[in-house]
Amino acid sequence: MNNALILQPMLGVMTLTAIVWFVMYARRIPAMKQARVPVQTYTTPDKVAELLPEAVNNPANNLKNLFELPVLFYGLCLFLYVTNSVDTGYVFAAWVFVVFRAMHSFVQCTSNIVMLRFYLYAAAALVLWFMLGRAVVASLSN
């Protein structure tokens, strides 16, 4: 198997992160202008959340979330790449992780249905834990 195939899902999550970043600012900047509050008022994330509507803050919350479990995903993918451990199972699971993270981001940035968002988050996390567990077992048996 081509070891570099594990890098494509990594790029998928990175692209998702960039999209959410753009959505965040596409909502935040117009909302800040509409609020007509001096820019210096938005000095902390708490103040931003207090002064702007929830729909404007949802992408920012999602962006923060994209720097939690995905960081482990990046590290694991790089570990698999460097140790030449990539196989079809890892690549498939990595793409499943990307799909669930994309769906999670879509829900959080739009309707923000909490239980749906949680199920999507949990599904992605379980895929990641499966990948990690498999990598740990394989590395211990070598």
Q: What is the pLDDT of residue 34?
A: 95
Distance from C-alpha of 36 to C-alpha of 73, rounded to nearest angstrom: 40
Task: Supply the CATH number for residue 67's domain.
Answer: 1.20.120.550
Range of the domain at 56: 3-140
Percent of the chain with pLDDT over 70: 100
In the block, residue with structure tokens 């479990």: 69
Tokens of 137: 């077992």
**17: helix, strand or coil:** helix
Cα-Cα-Cα-Cα dihedral sign, residues 137, 71, 63, 37: positive
Phi, psi angles (nearest 5°) of residue 119? -60, -40
Q: What is the pLDDT of residue 133?
A: 98
Per-residue pLDDT tens digits for 55-96: 999 999 999 999 999 999 999 999 999 999 999 999 999 999
Closest listed residue to residue 48, CA positions, set 62, 31, 65? 31
pLDDT tens-digit map of 15-36: 999 999 999 999 999 999 999 9
Cβ-in-10-Å burial (0-12, 13-18, 19+) of 56 comes to buried
Rounded Cα distance between 96 and 113, Å, is: 21
Cβ within 8 Å of residue 45, ≥6 positions away? 60
pLDDT of amino acid 53: 95
Q: Contact, 124 vs 69, CB < 8 A? A: yes
Give pLDDT, residue 142: 76
**Count of domains forming the chain:** 1
For residue 107, pLDDT beyond 90: yes
